Amino acid sequence: MQQIWTKLNEGRATVDTHPFFAWLQSDGVPLGSRFIFSPVMIDFIMSFADLNKWFLRYENPEGALQHSINVHTEEDATHSRLFVQNWENLKLGDTLDWQASKGLWWLFHAPQGQAVRDFGMSVLKLAVAFPDPRVRFCMMEAIEICGDVFFEYTAPIAAQLEEQGQGQHIYYGQYHRDRENGHLQSDEGCFADYELSPEQRTQAEGAIASVYGAFLRVLDQLLSFSQRAVAGYRGLQREIDEDFREELMPPGDNADALPRFPHSVDTDRAHADQRALVKQLDLRVQRLRGHSFIGWLKGGQGRPVERLRAFAPIWGIDVVGYKDFNDLVLTYTTPTSPSERAINGLSTELAAHGVLYLQDWQSLRLDEVLGWQMIDVICYYFLSEDTEVHRRNMAKVKKHAMRHENPLVRWWLMFALERANEVFFGATRDVALAAESDLGVTLNFWAYRHGLSESAGREAREFDFLQQVPSDDELSVIEQIINTVFDNFEEQFELSEAVSRSGTFSTRLQSLPPPRVSELVLRTPPELLPKWASGAARG
């Protein structure tokens, strides 16, 4: 471990000298503008709880090492909530007033946040890649050191802002820094004296280097954004607006043919060893078609537009976040085989669905219906119990993809997702077509005009995954994946139906309640909680 501590300290020194921190301390930067980079960090800050709950934490901990890590994740999972309170005191100009569609785009599509999203996904991958608590501890220690350096510089600024009456800055201040002190919030003694094997040391050093490297790229992005924002805030905002408008240009008339995922209608060609998988998939498809939510969608009660509005927002984090899942998880950085190139072609196509969803969001006028500002988007998609179901289920899918780089396994994951989507969009299609006629708009996402370009479809068909011979281990994994995907959809259909019948989005306009407070929030002193949380905690 002594060698590991040397690597950790070397990385700390490199992070500490990054020019972003010199900028943060510069007298040439107005004190009230020092945290102007905050919007760029939202995704990682607010996803930090999910990282701890579903990736770092051991579901069934064994031994002192795993228990120690779990103790740390219990406390660390509360930190993202501190950012919510801090939000109202940040000098972020127009960002505070962004409507929901722009907020969703910013969180998961904006190029200005790409380095931060890359960092977050790389940490998830490391957590999945290294279940060994000794290696995971070293990776987590690197994350804690990055946080300690960061908050070492932000805490004095937060104190000065509070002294000047510019609001409380709990996330960037000393309260948070005390919990990001470069070490786990648990007894590290069980790790400190452990002698790593050569393999564990190699893995730990690689994980540490990955964390520091990705964090340095985040600091590069924060510095670039901050310098531009201070030098010309209006110009930067115009650039962001142009990026947003360009990506969400009004949809054209897409071909009305339904998309066909390669081989989805030709499964009788499957190799004998895959036929049991095809049968299992077909049975789950039939079961999903019988779900009561599908019956509700097809029931025809109420205006079509109201039926779509009744549940569409709850799927936001899945659909808009699908781009990074395809780009950063499923895609092979350097494809070396026809099967990997086929996966990359499909991933590129599937990553575009989030844009269609946001275009439909605007066509359905959900910004006006919901009346959300940026803080509402943050709270709903990262803190509410409803969307926690979606985030937890997406974590399951991500872990399957991250654990298995085999193209056949990844193809089956994509195939299962698309077959479940066929059921979903097969039910929304008629509703969307009726809403298009009623409103005079185009709803490509809900009308199931997703499409796969000819080039992507051809490339995928050139490699026939269903003709491959899977190993016994691959068969077992694919069976688990099919069940995970369809179990997820069934749970989310149940939630969508409940939300739809409650009228949360469609009839009780602008009255969405704030997220309910979890047990984790109750551990935070009431005076340090966001306004909505402190009231609930007292209750």
DSSP string for residues in 112-138: GGHHHHHHHHHHHHHHHH--SHHHHHH
Average pLDDT of the residues in 465-492: 97
CB-facing half-sphere around the CA of 78: CA atoms within 13 A: 23
Residue 42 pLDDT > 60:
yes
Q: Residue 432 is part of a domain; what is its CATH number?
A: 1.20.910
Residue 513 pLDDT > 60:
no
The domain boundary, picked from 197, 223, 249, lies at 223
Q: Is residue 245 part of a domain?
A: no
Burial class (CB in 10 A: 0-12, 13-18, 19+), 352: middle
User: Whose CA is closest to 105, among 243, 285, 231?
Assistant: 243
CB-facing half-sphere around the CA of 386: CA atoms within 13 A: 25
Task: Give me the pLDDT at residue 64, please.
Answer: 86
**What is the extent of the structural domain holding 404?**
284-503+515-522
The answer to whether residues 63 and 197 belong to one domain is yes
The domain boundary, picked from 172, 207, 223, lies at 223
Across the chain, mean pLDDT equals 88
**pLDDT band, very low/low/confident/very high, at 253 (cuts 50, 70, 90):** low
Task: Give me the pLDDT at residue 522, please.
Answer: 39
- Measured in residues, the chain has a length of 539
For tokens 């031994």, what's the residue? 63
Q: Is residue 155 part of a domain?
A: yes
**pLDDT band, very low/low/confident/very high, at 406 (cuts 50, 70, 90):** very high
The answer to whether residues 490 and 397 belong to one domain is yes
The answer to whether residues 217 and 296 belong to one domain is no
The answer to whether residues 210 and 291 belong to one domain is no
Q: Which alpha helices (DSSP H) does 33-99 contain, by range?
A: 38-51, 63-76, 79-87
Q: Is residue 212 part of a domain?
A: yes
The answer to whether residues 199 and 300 belong to one domain is no
- Range of weakest confidence among 161-165, 203-207, 231-235, 258-262: 258-262
The answer to whether 214 and 118 have CB atoms below 8 angstroms apart is yes
Q: Is residue 237 part of a domain?
A: no
Task: Give me the pLDDT at residue 519, please.
Answer: 37
- 335-391, pLDDT tens digit by residue? 999 999 999 989 988 888 899 999 999 999 999 999 898 988 998 999 888 899 999
Q: Is residue 23 part of a domain?
A: yes
Distance set, CA 449 to CA 198, 252, 435, 452 (Å):
53, 11, 15, 9
User: Model-level pTM?
Assistant: 0.90
The answer to whether residues 351 and 496 belong to one domain is yes
The answer to whether residues 167 and 76 belong to one domain is yes
Apex CA 173: angle with CA 26 and CA 21, to 5°?
A: 30
Apex CA 513: angle with CA 510 and CA 517, to 5°?
A: 155
The answer to whether residues 292 and 382 belong to one domain is yes
Q: Is residue 228 part of a domain?
A: no
The answer to whether residues 374 and 467 belong to one domain is yes
**pLDDT band, very low/low/confident/very high, at 455 (cuts 50, 70, 90):** low
449 vs 352: CA distance, rounded Å = 12
The answer to whether residues 167 and 297 belong to one domain is no
The answer to whether 237 and 92 have CB atoms below 8 angstroms apart is no
| DSSP assignment of 256-297 | -SPP--TTTT-GGG--GGGHHHHHHHHHHHHHHHT-HHHHHH
The answer to whether residues 321 and 399 belong to one domain is yes
The answer to whether residues 295 and 203 belong to one domain is no
79 vs 521: CA distance, rounded Å = 9
Tokens of residue 126, six digits: 């490391």
Q: Is residue 474 part of a domain?
A: yes
Q: Is residue 271 part of a domain?
A: no
Number of domains in the chain: 2
